[in-house]
Amino acid sequence: MSDKIIVLGEHRENKMKRIFWETIGLGFKLSTVLQKEVSVVLLGKNLDSLAQEVSTKTDLEVIGLVNEKCENYTPEGL
């Protein structure tokens, strides 16, 4: 775990929230300082298109954790 920086992606209605892109900005900064790789973790129900968009734009590895119950996932919700 400690070998990586993981950005937990906030999204709503199939769109990444602005705070996510700000967190990615910080992730890249930290990656340079700490010499660690950044990955993105998304939680939700249908994540393929979002995961693809994020990975294409950032060139980062994206891990989607999929469950029906996470459809309206919020960071406070789990």
Summarize as ranges the residues that interact with another protein (CB under 8 A).
1-2, 12, 18-19, 21-26, 28-30, 33-34, 47-48, 51-52, 54-67, 69-70, 72, 74-78
Amino acid letter, 2:
S
* Torsion sign across C-alpha atoms 58, 59, 60, 65: positive
Residue whose C-alpha is closest to residue 50's, from 76, 25, 23, 21: 21
